[in-house]
Each structure stands twice: as structure tokens, then as C-alpha cells.
Structure 1
Amino acid sequence: MTYTPRAVAGMLGIAPTTLRTWDQRYGLGPSVRTDGGHRRYEDADVEVLRRMVVLTSQGVSAAAAAVLARQEPVAPPRGPRTPISPADALVAQRSLLTAAKRLDEPLMSDLAAKLLYDHGVISAWEHVFVPALVELGEMVVGSGQGVEIEHLASGSVLHALRGIPRTSSPGVLAALLSCAPDEQHWLALEALGAALSEEGCMWANLGARVPAEALCDAVDRLRPTVVLVWAHRPDLALRVPLDELGTRSGAVIAVAGSGWEGVPLPSLVRWPRSLSEAIELVLERVR
């Protein structure tokens, strides 16, 4: 397919004059012209322009952004990166929310991937993704509308997190991640897994709605160093067989999520209250 300049400007949420300027100054123009001389953009042209929008929204100068936009995106490197500053985090949140409200999933994915590349999973998750997703969730609760916005934003963050390369080196399974029975919210577990990948740790995620028996069987078979179970409501947390997990496995048992508030925990069960604390727990046991 090809697109007119007006259609592309609308897709990207920029003024047609900006599109014309980027074409004239930086050569980010259409690849196709009709027999009548009209400009038409192809999908590849639009993707370059999307990266241009992402980079300039993050404060990169237009000239530098034009060079970077032509380069293919690369997987984030492993290891620590520069933590995001409060001011930059606020700008990133606004950019992500603006793209979400326009239902621009490719732009959201690009924004999320750049944050992960520049600042790492923990900083991007705790200072940008969580505040933005919480704001969208509150918008849905308050107005009863915007579920599609929230779902697309969550999907875009998930897509970016899954772009973190996982270790292929053989070794011990550092962490087995699981939701409580009937728990359907599991994006936080994907963030934890991506952060473990940055540290070169092996991990497995059983995902949503894991029956108690299935979780116990997986622990028996995989013998992870740490087992972490997520729940966002107490009634879901109470269905997790913590005592049984502790007696039939040599793993450290940990829980995460707001659902554990007020739930009695066995003395040896750990409860990290943030992504960074969960990573420290796993690394402490692995090392």
C-alpha cells in the first residue's frame, strides 16, 4: 500500500508542514511518485518516520534523529544503563500516553523499546510504564471508556519487553514465574523476566491462571532457584499453595503484587515490593 502525505501526517499525529520539512531538510520523503508527480509513502517510509517521531519526542535534535531513524532498531544491550531522570520520565510518560490515546501501537512500541534500550528494564518499568498504565487504568475506571487504549498500551509494552534477548547459555533456572490460580494480570512477570534477561539469568514464566497442582508439578520438574507467584487480589493469593511449595522444593518462595496485602505468609516466604527488589532477591540467591 501507499499513502498520501496527509494520511501519513494523520497517522503520525504531526502537521503536514512538519512532514514536508523533514522531506526537504533530511531526505525523509516518499519512495514513490505517481505518474502525475504526486508523492506517495510506502510502509517502510512510514516506519522511518515513526522512529523520527519517537526520537524527536525524546529530545533528540531533528538532524541527529534523521540519521538514527534510517537505522534498523537493534536489541537492547545487557547490563546496567543510565537511570532515567524524573523530568525525562515525565516526558516519556506523556509521549506514551499521547500515542496510546491515538491508538498508535507502532509508535508506542517504538517509544517503549527506546526507553528499554537507553535506561534498562527496571528504570523504564518503575518510572514510565507503571505510572502510564496506572493512569490509563484510572481513566477507564473513572469514565467507563478507553479499555481499548489500555489494552493496546499494555500490548505495546509487552512487545518491547519481549525484545530483550534471553540468554542461551546452559545453566541453572534462576527463577520460575507464575500467576496465582485465576489471576489474569501477568505483564509484571514479563517485566521481571526481561530484567532477569538483562542480567544474563535463565527464567521461565508459566503465565496467567496457573492451577495450584500445575505450579507444584512445574517446580518439581524444573527445580528453580526462586519461585515467584504474582497476585493482584487477596482472594486469588489465598489459592496459592505456599506451604506445599515450601516443603516440596528447595527453592526460595517469593510472592509479588498487591493481592498479598493482609494475607498471612509463611515465615520463609519473601515479598519483594518492587521490580528492583525482586531482581536483587533472585541475583542474591543465584550468586
Structure 2
Amino acid sequence: MRVNEHAAARTADAGETTGALARKLGVSPTTLRSWDRRYGIGPALRTDGRHRRWTPEDVAMLQEMCRFTAAGLPPAEAARAAKERARGRTLSPALALARPAAGPRVPKSAPAPALPPGAPVSRSGTGLPLGDVRQECRGLARAAVRLDAAAVQSLLTAAVETHGLATAWTEVMVPTLRAVGRKWESSGDRYVEVEHLLSWHVSATLRHLYVRATQEPPTGVPPVLLACLPGEPHTLPLEALGAVLTERGVPALMLGGSVPAEALAAAVRRVGPSAVVLWSQSRSTANPPLARHVAGTRWGVRGARTRSLVLLSGPGWAGDPEPGLLRPRRLDDALRMLGAPEH
């Protein structure tokens, strides 16, 4: 139905342009036009028959479309589900599972539909250099770009429940985090908020799993001590290692980022850990003398004193490790060295 010029002007003032809406949702304008043409997911009114202006109702339906596609539904099915939600209809159980859970909590719920493991996807629609990655990475990246916290948390939870924590970290979380980081570095101050949002929710997911697993730790088993070196604030890789260790029944004690040398040495003497993992993200924080000191620290009762295994983790450590020190290159390397292989 055509509208008169006065109504069209009001629509233009109130609605969003296709370009602005595409940036908001984290998809390309071409994708929005394609959805309109193929599936009827388009603006209800147009100013002159050509220029699209998207009303709040249109935007809400598109947000549903994005959430369903991010959960792995084919576009045609996602469009039908979005329209049904807009009309207030009840979705089928299969489609209802694709709806992200509300809020940033990490509930134990059914996983969202996903493509077969290892299915490659394109990077179109996110603006991020994802490359050849799992299907879940594209949905997670899109949700992060449009700052959809509920969808980000739901997709992270689904990835953990579908693939297990170790695989979810290495094949879903890390590739998406790296893509956001590369985009941030190449575009000035843009995408900083995306990186912060995604990192926060990844950390929230890992910490939730770590805390849940440490509520009933094994008794009589010395923990693995996890610490970032002095001046090193990046904790996510250690958080992932700690969560996987506790999930597999190996107690872990996380000290966090930028642990002072004196505090680290004191913790080793007090706790008597089975191993100490020292994380360094950059060469500026790698500290071989401190690592040697930790490796040489003896603890325990007199006559039965022992030492902790020391792992140098992270890209900050250059060259081969010194005798008595281990250098895991990947998460599975560290898990094997710490006696926590996959069951």
C-alpha cells in the first residue's frame, strides 16, 4: 500500500536506513536486501517505493532473524520463525531451542541447533576476518558485532554443551576472539566495544564452569597453580586451562593476572602445588629468572621436600625451555603434561 508524502516523511524521520541497520545488526546491506527479496523480511513501508526505512517493528523481526541464523538455522527457516514470533505465534520445540536464553547467566539448557562439527563458513556479514572456521564462530561473531549480550552468552553456552569445553575454547572462542582482535588492531578505535563484550562473556563462561567444578574438589590432591607473570594482565587462556582441569577432576588454583613475584613464591611454598603454570602473552612479561626460581623452590615437610613441575605457557616465551621447565604449545599439550587428558 502506498502512503502519502506526509506519512512517508514521518516514516523516513522515524525509521532507520538500510546501511545504519546493517551496521547495528552486524550484517551487510546486501544481506538485508536479499532477506527482503527472498523471504519477505523487509520494511513494511517505503518512502518512495525504493528507499527502505526500517521501523522498530521491522528491526525487532530482523533481530529475531539474526538470532535464529546465528543459532544455526537455515535462512528460510529462520525467516519463517522470525515472522511467527512477530505474529505472536508459538514456535515448534525445535525452533524454540534456537532462541537465546535471556540474560548473561550460564544455564544448563539444551544446546542450540548447529551444523556438523568442522563445517566451514564464510566471513561474509560480520566484517571480521574469520576464515575457515566452525559454523558457530560466524554466529558468535555476528552476535558480538551487534552487541547482543544475550545471544553471545547463549551461543557460548551451546558451544560448550555441544562440543565440550576444550573444543569450544580452541575451535569456537579462540578463533572468534582472534578475529575481533585483528579487526580492532586494523581499524583504529573501532570494535573495541565488541572485543570487550566478547572477552567478558567468554571469561564469565569459563569462570562459571571453574567455580562450579571447584565446589567439590578432590581431597588430598595438590592443585595446579595458575598465574600470570608480573605485568601480564591477559588471563583468558589460563581461565580456560583452569576450567578444563577442574572439569576433568584435576584441582586448580587460579591466582589471576599480574601476580607479583613475591606473592607467587609465597603461594608455591604455602600450597605445595603439583605444578605451576606461568602465562606470558608477550616477551616483555616473560621472566626466565622468576621461572627458574619457582622451579627451584622446594616445599613440604623436612626429609620429604619436593618441587613443583613448572610449565611456561603463552607466546611470550621465546626459544626452547631450560632443563627442568616444560613448554606446552597448545591446550592439549598442557593437559597431557598435567595429567588431565580427555577421557
2:331 to 271, 275, 280: 275
1:11 & 1:69 partners in 2: Cα distance? 11
TM superposition shift of 1:234: 1.3
What is the identity, as a one-letter code, of the residue corresponding to 2:90?
Answer: G
Matched, 1:254 2:284: no
Q: What CA distance in whole angstroms lies between the structure 2 residues aligned with 1:70 and 1:185?
A: 28
CA drift of 1:24 comes to 5.8
Partner of 1:37: none
Over aligned residue pairs, what C-alpha RMSD do you find?
3.0
Contact persistence 2:84–2:90 (CA under 8 A): no
- Relative to 1, partners in 2 of residues 1:193 and 1:26: Cα closer, same or farther, differing over 3 Å? farther
Q: Does 1:86 align with 2:118?
A: yes
Using CA pairs under 8 Å that are at least 6 residues apart, name the structure with larger relative contact order, 1 or 2.
1
Residue 238 of structure 1: CA displacement?
2.2
Gaps of 5+ in 1: 29-61, 77-83
Q: Using the TM superposition, give the Cα deviation of residue 194 of structure 1 relative to its aligned residue in structure 2, in angstroms.
A: 1.0
Q: Tell me, yes or no, if the aligned pair for 2:61 and 2:83 is still in contact at 8 Å.
A: no
The worse-fitting range, judged by mean Cα deviation, of 121-130 and 8-17 is 8-17
Q: CA deviation digits over 1:61-94, x for unaligned, max 9?
A: x641326859997448xxxxxxx72217521111
Structure 2 distance, partners of 1:186, 1:13, is 34
Identity among equivalent positions (%) equals: 31
Residue 274 of structure 1 aligns with an amino acid whose one-letter code is R
Partner of 1:65: 95
How many Å separate the matches in 1 of 2:331 and 2:242? 10
Which residue of 65, 90, 94 corresponds with 1:27?
A: 90
Q: In structure 2, the residue corresponding to 1:235 is in which secondary structure?
A: coil
Unpaired runs of at least 5, structure 2:
1-55, 67-77, 110-115, 121-132, 299-306
Aligned 1:28-43 pairs, distance under 5 A: none
Change (3 A) 1:216 1:99: same
Residue 203 of structure 2: which of 148, 158, 168 is its match? 158
| Conservation of the 8 A alpha-carbon contact between 1:174 and 1:224 | yes
Output one character per residue of 1:220-256: Cα deviation in whole Å (capped at 9) or x when no partner. 1111111001001112012661121111131100111
User: After superposition, what is the alpha-carbon deviation per residue over 1:146-203, rounded to whole angstroms, capped at 9, x for unaligned?
Assistant: 1111111111111122232214133323311000100011100110011112202211
Secondary structure of the structure 1 residue equivalent to 2:168: helix
Tell me the alpha carbon deviations over residues 101-148 of structure 1, each in whole angstroms, 9 at most, x when there is no partner. Answer: 101122111101111111111111111111111111110111112111
> Are residues 1:146 and 2:191 paired?
yes
CA distance in 1 between partners of 2:181 and 2:100 (Å): 35
Alignment correspondent of 1:210: 259
SS at match of 2:180: helix
Deviates more, 1:161-170 or 1:143-152: 161-170
How many residue pairs get aligned? The number is: 242
The separation in 2 between residues aligned to 1:133 and 1:258, in whole angstroms, is 16
Structure with higher helix content: 1
In structure 2, relative to structure 1, the CA distance for the partners of 1:70 and 1:93 (3 Å cut) is: closer
Normalised by the length of structure 1, the TM-score is 0.75
- CA separation in 2, counterparts of 1:150 and 1:13? 23
Q: TM-score, normalised by structure 2?
A: 0.63
CA 1:277 to 1:18, structure 2 compared with 1: closer, same or farther past 3 Å?
same
Are residues 1:224 and 2:269 paired? no
Contact persistence 2:227–2:277 (CA under 8 A): yes
For residue 136 of structure 1, the aligned residue among 180, 195, 200 is 180
- Quote the Cα distance in structure 2 between the aligned partners of 1:209 and 1:96: 29
- Give the aligned partner of residue 174 of structure 1: 223
By how many angstroms is 1:274 displaced? 0.7
Q: Is the 8 A contact 2:312 2:328 kept in 1?
A: yes
Q: Is the 8 A contact 1:173 1:224 kept in 2?
A: yes
Q: Shift in Å at residue 282 of structure 1?
A: 1.2
Contact 1:5 1:19 in 2 (8 A): no
Aligned residue for 2:150? Answer: 106
